[in-house]
Homo-oligomer: A and B are copies of this chain.
């Protein structure tokens, strides 16, 4: 709990983000994280009792620093989409962070992966917020009644995630910002009710 201890822990998490981004969680060795912060493996184990625990703290760190609005319960759907575009723009500037989460996200699909629950909950939490937002848009007559709020929420999330993977694979072939903006613009045009 000492000041120096806290600083050390933060250093470790930052290093872990980079290493998990490069090798995934399964592929990364705990020792390589230790080395990155000039500790021996037992030295690192003093701060994090095991590798899984470190992973969970990395994920938690993301929660704190993510652009995901914690309590934006009643946000309007246009504002919500704009916020996502903003987040996406920020992401485009930090490929390392996007890498960790894209890789861990898929890795967590494997059996008994320690991050499964975290991604499950994150996914359903975001979906709920977004679906609610779209639902209110429909109720307010701003969105066509034919639209299924949950389905559109899923769609936007799926596209964002898939786009990140495509961008990481071919950064020079995929313009993540332009692509997402163009998608959102088309989405809005196609679900909003006629000009009123």
Question: Using a CB–CB distance below 8 Å, which chain A residues touch chain B?
Answer: 22-24, 26-27, 99, 102-103, 105-107, 109-111, 119-120, 123-124, 127, 148, 150-151, 154-155, 157-163, 165-166, 168-170, 173-175, 178-179, 182-183, 186-187, 189-191
Contact = CB atoms under 8 A, between A and B. Distances in A.
Contacts of A109: 99, 102-103, 165, 168-169
A163 B87 CA distance: 20
Contacts of A27: 26, 110
Contact of A123 (B154, B160, B166, B186): B166
A110 B24 contact: yes
Given A120-B169, A155-B179, 17 more contacts: A22-B110, A22-B111, A24-B26, A24-B110, A27-B110, A102-B109, A103-B110, A106-B106, A107-B107, A123-B166, A154-B166, A154-B173, A154-B174, A158-B159, A158-B163, A159-B159, A190-B190
B168 A165 contact: no
Contacts of A102: 106, 109
Contacts of A154: 163, 166, 173-174, 179
A107 to B, nearest CB: 6
Contact of A106 (B165, B183, B190): B165
A185 to B, nearest CB: 9
Nearest to A127: B173
Contacts of A157: 162, 166
